[in-house]
Amino acid sequence: MEICLFSIVSSSPEETIAAGERIAALLRKGSVVALCGGLGAGKTWLTKGIARGLGVTEEVTSPTYTIISEYEGRLPFYHIDAYRLRGDDEFATLGADDALYGNGVTVIEWSERVAQSIPDNALTIEISILEDTHRLIVVKEATP
Ligand SMILES: Nc1ncnc2c1ncn2[C@@H]1O[C@H](COP(=O)(O)OP(=O)(O)O)[C@@H](O)[C@H]1O
Ligand SMILES: [Mg+2]
């Protein structure tokens, strides 16, 4: 079962960053955040805010070919973009366990593409486009 913790309506990219900073306050060593939502929904902007909230000063970007990027913050911060992966089998070849089961925080964009690889206790965040620059951000937690 999943419990919806809260939802946020953002009306600009800057508000999405602020939402990410608030969400970061919920995260601890080993936390995993699974982000779903279509192209241009705002997953990367939310990731920028989460990173900022975790003390990452380097700018988080979406490199074309890098699947896993590591940044330094209060905890190690891993940004995974599964967009170009074929699925869980390909993900398994990347050695993401240090990120997913280590001492940092991991955010995975397009988590629905690697659904079997997401730890059970991950937070799930669904972002959808409402209209123009409005985005609905729904934060959910799985129950044991
Ligand atoms: N409220 C909003 N939050 C986030 N992005 C927004 C918002 N309104 C408009 N945008 C635009 O939508 C796009 C979101 O891009 P991005 O975060 O890279 O999406 P994704 O990673 O989900 O593909 C950007 O071009 C951004 O300027
Ligand atoms: Mg993105």
Give, in order, the Cα–Cα distances in Å from 138 to each of 42, 93, 104, 110: 12, 30, 23, 15
CB atoms within 10 A of CB 69: 18
Closest CA to ligand 1's atom 27? 13
User: Measured from the CA of 11, which atom of ligand 1 is nearest?
Assistant: 1
Bridge partners (DSSP) listed for residue 34: 108, 124
For residue 72, give the 3-state DSSP assignment.
strand
Pairing of strands 105-109, 32-36: parallel
Residue closest by Cα to atom 16 of ligand 1: 42
Report d(CA 51, CA 46) in Å as an integer: 9
CATH number of the domain at 116, please: 3.40.50.300
Residue 60 lies in a domain: yes
CB 26 within 8 A of CB 57: no
Count of domains for the chain = 1
Please report which ligand is nearest the Cα atom of 16.
1
For the Cβ of 20 lying below 6 angstroms from any atom of ligand 1, the answer is no
Residue 97 burial class via C-beta count within 10 angstroms: exposed 0-12, middle 13-18, buried 19 and up? exposed
54 within a domain of the structure (yes/no):
yes
Domain region containing 127: 9-136
Residue 144 lies inside a defined structural domain of this protein = no
Per-residue pLDDT of the chain (144 residues; tens, 9 = 90+): 999 999 999 999 999 999 999 999 999 999 999 999 999 999 999 999 999 999 999 999 988 889 999 999 999 999 999 999 999 999 999 999 889 999 999 999 999 999 999 999 999 999 999 999 999 999 999 888
